[in-house]
Amino acid sequence: MEGPFSLLSDHEQVVYANDPGSGLRCIIAIHSTRLGSALGGTRFYPYASERDALVDALRLSRAMTYKAACAGLDLGGGKAVILGDPATDKSEALLRAYGRFVESLGGRYVTACDVGTYTHDMAIVGRETRWATGADLEEGGSGDSGVMTAYGAYVGMKACAEQVWGSDNLGNRHVAVAGIGKVGRALVEYLHAEGARLTVADVDDGATTWAAEHTGADVVGVDKIHAVDADIYSPNALGGVVNDLTLPELSVEVIAGAANNQLLAAEHGAALHDAGVLYAPDYVINAGGLIQVGDELHPDGYSPARTKRRVTQIGDRLRQVFHLAEVDGIPTSVAAERFAERRIADVGRLRGLWIG
């Protein structure tokens, strides 16, 4: 696994906050502001160590840079992690202390929801900073971004189907969905409405029971879902699910899901390419939530119609990535990086922020 110091090499800024009064311990990693303010969610999680938290923040913030660039947004990439158990450690005092910390960065970092944080949390954070997005609608935010993340994953999956089978129709496809949380559940509903056959897995038995009862989905264990003989494998929970152990057991032609960091290491993208499996790079296909909260920064305020139109374009972004991969003879994971880096370089030069 990559160590924290090797990951630090291309980050602009990494800051640590400690507020003993509220119990806040937090790391904010700003990977890039070449295209604009670094936007990324706040992950509240009981990390085993500060090292683990730092590595997570560094990896996730870099992915956010690429996600924003591929989505055509004038935003950079950042990520925050709060160390602790959100069930027991989260409080108004802690969230407000965190908001003051975000405010102190002067707009270089814009926060939003992630694992362990929710729209009502962002409303509290927003009492202390202008740079909080994703609050409840009644608090002036755009609400739960999971719906747009799921919609973008659905649109992206259809683009994958068109690339592999010549038709974007998912009605005759078998999709193995890992993770039936707020994103996975909405994605399952889209797929069921189109008539897809579903196999699902989740650590929460209630989530899989819902899927079985409402969509007729088959249920397997979370340790088996990647090996289901299906057309599409859709990871929507944990990262690192494509690795040395799971790769030989894959029995699909497409991997398309909303989870972050699906490849445990870069070489696994090449392995998928060599195996003839089309991989939809996660930070391209799962950009719907980022597009939504980013739209809150528009001069005219948040627009649901404009957001949905931009999320629909995820399919076109993937088609561009697939074309680049074909022309250059490279894995889609590498093509997505090149796609993002070209935009960062071109726009960065125009803004006078970076000379490559």
Catalytic machinery residues: 79
Q: Which two tokens stand for residue 11?
A: 């980050």
> How far is Cα 252 from Cα 230, in angstroms, rounded to an integer?
5
Beta bridge partners of 9: none
Amino acid residing at 185:
R
> How far is Cα 253 from Cα 269, in angstroms, rounded to an integer?
14
Beta bridge partners of 45: 83
Element (H, E) at 272: helix 267-275
Residue 201 three-state SS: strand
**φ, ψ for residue 234, nearest 5 deg:** -120, 95
Distant-in-sequence contacts of 324-332, Cβ < 8 A, 24+ apart: 325/273, 330/273, 331/269, 331/270, 331/272, 331/273, 331/279, 332/269, 332/273, 332/278, 332/279, 332/280, 332/281
> How far is Cα 232 from Cα 323, in angstroms, rounded to an integer?
20
Going by their DSSP bridges, the two strands 24-32 and 278-279 should be labelled as unpaired
Q: Which residues have CB under 8 Å from 198's CB, separation 6+?
A: 174, 175, 176, 177, 188, 191, 192, 211, 215, 216, 217, 218
Q: Are 58 and 7 in contact (CB under 8 A)?
A: yes
